[in-house]
């Protein structure tokens, strides 16, 4: 957690500070004195500025009360592992709405149903924009996905496409037989391995991904790859989700973003390139297909997939972004993880309904799905 991270950083700083004070020649003693005085002056001015800022609010807007924390790092060192319990305790002290400085980021905590209702429903347009972490920006081409894109015409256009063409009742009903067949195939696979160890989590994930890929671009692209690549794909997706949830100093101290101290951006970029390679091949294969081939595939399936919808929107002149060369790739890749999460939920619901007549399987699989 963040406390452990700051403990390691504090230990490193103390070690460097001890080494600095071991210097004994006169020239370095003078430099040491100047540096020490400069640090004290900067710390004093920073603390005074932070105190004035916390008491008067950001600019001309007042902010609610809250714990002061420490200069520069704010309340980060005091965060516990059970944040919900800690935030509830702070609410008893500071009221239903209070602030926390996490590094250089001001966070406001709501602990009241009425305030939550006002934020997420009454004033949802005001609070709809999010502050994406560095890892999310890397994974979504700078925030092109529907989860992190700022509220505006671009976001509204994406949401309209998703609601109308991807998550509508008609679209989900059209893929019900597909989902049912994939679940039945997974059940038969488990049944064929009676007496041997079975990785239910892996089978569930691969089944979900088959369903999701078919809904995204399965009409005309054969995504059936060997088991090793699919297993690696699962590991990559899991690692990406882990990086998105990893506390990153660059998120709390934007000035450190260029240094990438924890290596989160570099690792996410490496995984992003791996996923890009797969998505590039899928998009290129679709764009090389003739109109007749695409029409035959759609007639066979009975509906268009998500990739074709995006390509047709671009062909119709829809202005998705300022970069035409990477528009489709950015939208598909940027929203891949968002759509995967939504569609995997649909696949899991299908799992539950299909497994209800099989009580021997259901209790075992329920904890994984």
Helices (H), 95-199: 113-117, 134-139, 153-161, 169-174, 176-191
Q: How far apart are CA 42 and CA 37, in angstroms?
A: 9
pLDDT value of position 334:
54
Decide if pLDDT at 205 tops 70. Answer: yes
Lowest mean pLDDT among 20-29, 77-86, 209-218, 306-315: 20-29
- Per-residue pLDDT of 52-72, as tens digits, reads 555 555 555 788 999 988 888
SS3 state at 101? strand
In angstroms, the Cα distances linking 120 to 144, 148, 152, 160 are: 22, 16, 17, 19
Q: How far apart are CA 313 and CA 304, in angstroms?
A: 13
> Of 141-145, 260-264, 299-303, which one has max mean pLDDT?
260-264
Beta strands 105-110 and 97-102 are antiparallel
Q: What is the 3-state secondary structure (H, E, C) of 254-317?
A: HHHCCCCCCCHHHHHHHHHHHHHHHHHHHHHHHHHCCHHHHHHHHHHHCCCCHHHHHHHHHHCC
Q: How far apart are CA 156 and CA 152, in angstroms?
A: 6
- Per-residue pLDDT of 121-141, as tens digits, reads 898 888 888 889 999 999 888
Q: What is the average per-residue pLDDT within 257-272? A: 93
Decide if pLDDT at 322 tops 50. Answer: no
Q: What is the average per-residue pLDDT within 251-265? A: 92
Residue pointed to by tokens 């950015």? 330
Q: Under a CB-based contact definition with an 8 Å cutoff, are residues 83 and 111 in contact? A: no
Q: Which of 197, 141, 195 is closest to 320 using CA atoms? A: 141
Total Cβ atoms within 10 A of residue 13? 10
Distance of CA 333 to the CA centre of its chain: 13
Check residues 82 and 343 and name the one with the higher pLDDT.
Answer: 82
Q: Which of 110, 72, 77 is closest to 2 using CA atoms? A: 77
Q: Which of 287, 291, 289, 293 is closest to 327 using CA atoms? A: 287
Q: How far apart are CA 334 and CA 340, in angstroms?
A: 11
Q: What are the tokens at 44?
A: 């004093």
SS3 state at 131? coil
Q: What is the average per-residue pLDDT within 138-148? A: 83
DSSP state of 125: T
H helix count then E strand count, the chain: 17, 2
- Per-residue pLDDT of 151-166, as tens digits, reads 888 888 878 877 877 7
Q: What is the average per-residue pLDDT within 89-103? A: 93
- Per-residue pLDDT of 1-13, as tens digits, reads 555 655 665 565 5
């Amino acid at each position: 957690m963040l406390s452990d991270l700051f403990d390691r950083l504090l230990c490193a700083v103390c070690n460097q500070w001890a080494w600095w004070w071991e210097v004994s020649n006169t020239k370095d003693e003078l430099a040491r004195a100047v540096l020490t005085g400069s640090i004290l002056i900067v710390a004093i001015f920073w603390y005074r500025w932070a105190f004035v800022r916390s008491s008067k609010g950001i600019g001309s807007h007042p902010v609610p009360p809250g714990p002061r924390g420490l200069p520069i790092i704010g309340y980060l060192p005091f965060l516990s592992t059970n944040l919900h319990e800690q935030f509830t305790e702070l609410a008893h002290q500071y009221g239903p709405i209070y602030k926390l400085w996490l590094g250089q980021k001001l966070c406001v905590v709501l602990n009241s149903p009425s305030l939550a209702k006002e934020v997420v429903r009454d004033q949802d347009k005001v609070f709809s924009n999010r502050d994406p972490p560095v890892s999310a920006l890397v994974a979504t081409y700078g925030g092109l996905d529907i989860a992190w894109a700022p509220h505006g015409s671009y976001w509204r256009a994406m949401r309209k496409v998703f609601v109308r063409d991807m998550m509508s009742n008609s679209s989900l009903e059209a893929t019900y037989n597909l989902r049912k067949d994939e679940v039945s195939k997974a059940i038969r696979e488990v049944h064929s391995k009676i007496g041997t160890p079975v990785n239910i989590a892996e089978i569930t994930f691969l089944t979900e991904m088959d369903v999701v890929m078919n809904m995204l671009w399965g009409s005309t692209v054969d995504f059936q790859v060997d088991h090793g690549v699919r297993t690696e794909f699962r590991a990559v997706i899991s690692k990406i989700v882990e990086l998105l949830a990893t506390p990153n100093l660059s998120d709390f101290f934007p000035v450190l973003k260029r240094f990438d101290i924890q290596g989160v951006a570099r690792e996410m970029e490496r995984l992003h390139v791996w996923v890009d390679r797969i998505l590039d091949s899928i998009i290129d294969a679709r764009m090389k297909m003739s109109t007749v081939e695409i029409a035959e595939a759609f007639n066979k399936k009975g509906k268009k997939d998500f990739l074709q919808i995006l390509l047709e929107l671009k062909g119709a002149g829809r202005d998705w972004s300022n970069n035409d060369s990477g528009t489709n790739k950015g939208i598909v890749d940027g929203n891949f993880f968002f759509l995967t999460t939504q569609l995997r939920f649909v696949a899991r619901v299908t799992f539950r309904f299909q497994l209800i007549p099989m009580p021997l399987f259901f209790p075992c699989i329920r904890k994984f799905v």
